[in-house]
Amino acid sequence: MEPVVMSPPAAALLDVAAGALLLTAVLVVWRRDLPTILRIFTAHGLALGALVGVLAWAQRSVELGLVTIGVLAVRGGLLPWLLRRALAGAGPARREVRPVVNVTASLLAVAALVLLAFSVSVPLVELGESPATRAVPVAVAVVLIGLLVLVTRRHTVSQLVGFLLVDNGITAAGFLTTSGIGLVVEVGVALDVLLAVLVLQVLAGRIRDTFGDVDLGELRELRDR
């Protein structure tokens, strides 16, 4: 694959979209109240859409343009809407009350993870030096931050956000390294994610119906016996 030649404004816009992607991922870890986290997650989806949009504009690709519209609709609109519904159905708890690791420690962990992501993706960047590949470390960092949210949060909705952060990161890495993976593949992945979220939403509803709460920390007792 030959590296994509980008005009300086496109490269700058791509950098800004990547920066917004990282900033919103960090803010998800930083904040505690779930409605705010969902708003930040919406911004994260829109930043991902913007990233793909810039790539489409730089390559003058109609197919990528269509994918951009799809990404914006699914990750900036549909998924946050589903999460808001899941939150509304998840009872009165509106905050991540006591995460497994406290917020200050998880912020420091994020710093370490980002540095790790940046250092391990050096060989990836060296494969083909272009503005798009230079943003790949950010996508890897987003994947790691999503994993951290997934393992350290107890509320089902925050765990869903963590799962979707991982997926957004993988999608961003895919677009940045391959300059478009084809419309069919992207639609398939989007439908997969959508299905996973729907299933998890139903699962969260069942957990609440059975236990009257969506705090997954409570589930430990089940496993022990």
Q: Sort 165 into a burial class: Cβ within 10 Å, 0-12 / 13-18 / 19+.
A: buried
Residue 154's SS3 state is coil
Contacts of 177 (CB under 8 A, 6+ apart): 124, 132, 133, 136
Of 135 and 214, CB closest to another protein: 135
Of 20 and 72, CB closest to another protein: 20
Q: Which residue from 44, 41, 63 is spatially nearest to 53, judged by alpha carbons? A: 63
Residues paired with 215 in a beta bridge? 155
Of 47 and 90, CB closest to another protein: 47
Of 156 and 177, CB closest to another protein: 177
Task: In whole angstroms, give the CA distance from residue 15 to residue 21.
Answer: 10
Report the nearest approach of another protein to the CB of residue 156 (Å).
23
Report the nearest approach of another protein to the CB of residue 127 (Å).
15
Q: Given the rule CB under 8 A, which residues bind another protein? A: 8-9, 12, 15-16, 18-20, 22-23, 26, 30, 103-104, 107-108, 110-111, 114-115, 118, 134-135, 137-138
Of 111 and 151, CB closest to another protein: 111
Going from the C-alpha of 93 to that of each of 17, 57, 174, 196, 213, the distances in angstroms are 32, 42, 35, 23, 8
Report the nearest approach of another protein to the CB of residue 15 (Å).
5
Report the nearest approach of another protein to the CB of residue 144 (Å).
13
For 76, which DSSP code?
I
Report the nearest approach of another protein to the CB of residue 2 (Å).
21
